[in-house]
Amino acid sequence: MESFVLLLEILLPAIVVGAVAYLIIRSYLNYEEGRQSLEIEKSKQDIIFPVRMQAYERITLFLERITPDSLVRRVLKTNTSARLFQSDLIAIIRSEYEHNISQQVYLTANSWSMVKTATEETIRLVNITGSQMPPSATASDLAEQILHITAKVSKFPTQVALEQVKKEFTQYFLKSTT
């Protein structure tokens, strides 16, 4: 019995010290793992944040450029036919869209869907308006008709998409700085 008590007197402190050392080491390793995860996440954000911000800027520029008012005024060549002007407008919209299509990976699905809809609706407006023009119509006639139609619409899809993109941008990038 005495040897058992003596054995307990020796083993019990060793077990307690071992258990405490184990808990301390495990706690330290968990802390280090969490700290490394945070560092990895921070470095990812340091890389992605500027690229994502640039994507929102590019999509904003894209939407501004394909807004019918801006597009017509920028592209109008008064000495061309309405049909040629129509095809130029469509080609420019599609080219701009294709140039910015990769930006969708940085936007939410909802925002990208609105950008895509705005693009399609702008093309649709140009095509429908162009198809209603007489064969002798000039680019100026088509431009005037497009501007007249868009003036009647309270919010053209490019404006709706632009508002969504700006709202999302504010939500993701400006809330963190205030």
Mean pLDDT of 102-122: 96
Is 89 part of a structural domain of the chain? yes
What is the per-residue pLDDT for 178?
45
Residue with tokens 């140009």: 126
Q: What is the pLDDT of residues 66-77, one digit of tens each?
A: 999 999 999 998
The count of other CB atoms within 10 Å of the CB of residue 157 is 22
State the average pLDDT for the chain.
92
Is 55 part of a structural domain of the chain? yes
Is 5 part of a structural domain of the chain? no
What is the per-residue pLDDT for 1?
77
Give the pLDDT band of residue 172 (cuts 50, 70, 90).
confident
Is 125 part of a structural domain of the chain? yes
Q: Tell me, what DSSP letter sits at residue 106?
A: G
What is the per-residue pLDDT for 177?
47
Give the pLDDT band of residue 121 (cuts 50, 70, 90).
very high
What is the per-residue pLDDT for 24?
95
- Please give the residue range of the domain that contains residue 130: 51-174
Is 38 part of a structural domain of the chain? no
Is 126 part of a structural domain of the chain? yes
Q: Using the predicted structure, report yes or no on whether residue 105 has a pLDDT greater than 90.
A: yes
Q: Cα–Cα distance between 175 and 76 in angstroms, integer? A: 40
What is the per-residue pLDDT for 42?
86
Q: What percent of the chain has pLDDT over 90?
A: 76
Is 22 part of a structural domain of the chain? no
Q: Cα–Cα distance between 68 and 49 in angstroms, integer? A: 31
What type of residue is 84? L
- How many structural domains are present in the chain? 1
Is 46 part of a structural domain of the chain? no
Q: How many Å from the N-terminal Cα to the C-terminal Cα in the chain? A: 71
Q: Name the burial class of residue 103, with classes exposed (0-12), middle (13-18) and buried (19+) by CB atoms within 10 angstroms of its CB.
A: buried
Stronger pLDDT, 65 or 7, i.e. the higher one: 65
